[in-house]
Amino acid sequence: MRSSLAPASLPPHDQAERSAVLLCNLGTPDGPTAPAVRRYLAQFLSDRRVVEIPRLVWLPILHGIVLRVYPARSAAKYGRVWTAAGSPLALWTARQAALLHDRLDAAAQPLLVRHAMRYGKPSIASQLDALQAEGAARILILPLYPQYSACTTASVFDAVYRWAGRTRNLPELRFVNRYHDHPGYIDALARRIETHWAHHGPPGQLLMSFHGIPERSLRLGDPYQREVRETARLLAERLGLRADRYRVSFQSRFGKARWIEPYTLPTAQALARAGVRRVDVVCPGFSCDCLETLEEIDIELRAAFLHAGGKEFHYIPCLNDDGAWIAALGQVAQQHLAGWPAAVPSGPSADARAGHAAQR
């Protein structure tokens, strides 16, 4: 009987077994074109964690309506934020992985660090294969989602489990579920905001906009909203903000179902109509700038706030390659790597080399 398990990508026998970190983000289309966006959305919206509608109901809608209508619209939006070097999300995620590698290396933890996308390229499976080929016997999965949700964090884990299900020689695996209240993360956010205010002064209102999820997800036990509220509370305390100086809202609603409220767009419009002249918006749940922050917030929300009577709109960029953020990621990684050696010689040739060295 033929086995369905894929052969392991084995390193040379004398290569040291190593520990690794796989930094995982949501993903991005290959380009700001309708065909590229269609491929991306087909993968993203086919995920059972993302759309929890029975397949018999959802798939005809997805392929018959959504993938016919949305790709061209979304491609135009991606075109507004695309850079000469490519997708902002892809660029920032790759840079975060490189800086995390340097950070851990400087801390005497010479680890392998790679990045992967849940949807799009490089895929989680391809990067896990690559890490095994480089000798990774222990891999920490670190999603770039500070707040846990089944539709984000758990979906990353699903992809890892699927890879594990077809892999014969499995590495040790560890997973980071959440770090929404990590002091380093909160401090990095606060410093980002304080730096902006040092140059522009404080606003009438600080709006903390997080990605939304369907309200039904909360009833099914998703802890996301609770963790969002905790992040916001800790950040406000760190900034010394009274409760009337900031708001928490949720963006990126998709479809007709009820999502967690308040929604970001009507919240900003209501502030403008209430006479708030200036609003500053920060997106603490996004690790790096992307379509949802650069287009949805800095372009669309800006226009809506000013049109509703607001006078001044400031978008405070995501943490991106901020030094305090990379330090926080390093702290999270080190906590979860505890007890794992960075590199352990493996195979008879490595033992032989160690013996020869001891005799000299």
CB–CB of 320/92 below 8 Å?
A: yes
Question: How far from each other are the two terminal CA atoms of the chain, in whole angstroms?
Answer: 51
CB under 8 Å to 274, separation ≥6 — which residues?
none
Dmax (CA) for the chain in angstroms is: 81
Listed residue (29, 187, 19) closest to 104, CA to CA: 19
Question: What kind and span of H or E run contains 117?
Answer: strand 112-119
CB–CB of 96/144 below 8 Å?
A: yes
- Is 215 annotated in some ligand binding site? no
- Is 172 annotated in some ligand binding site? no
CA 101 – CA 95 distance, rounded (Å): 10
CB–CB of 173/182 below 8 Å?
A: no
In sequence order, the β-bridge partners of residue 83 are 86
Cα four-point dihedral sign 115, 117, 120, 123? positive
Bridge-based pairing state of the strands 343-344 and 17-27:
antiparallel
> C-alpha 351: how far from its chain's center?
40
Q: What are the binding residues for Fe(2+)? A: 211, 292
Residue positions forming the annotated binding site: 211, 292
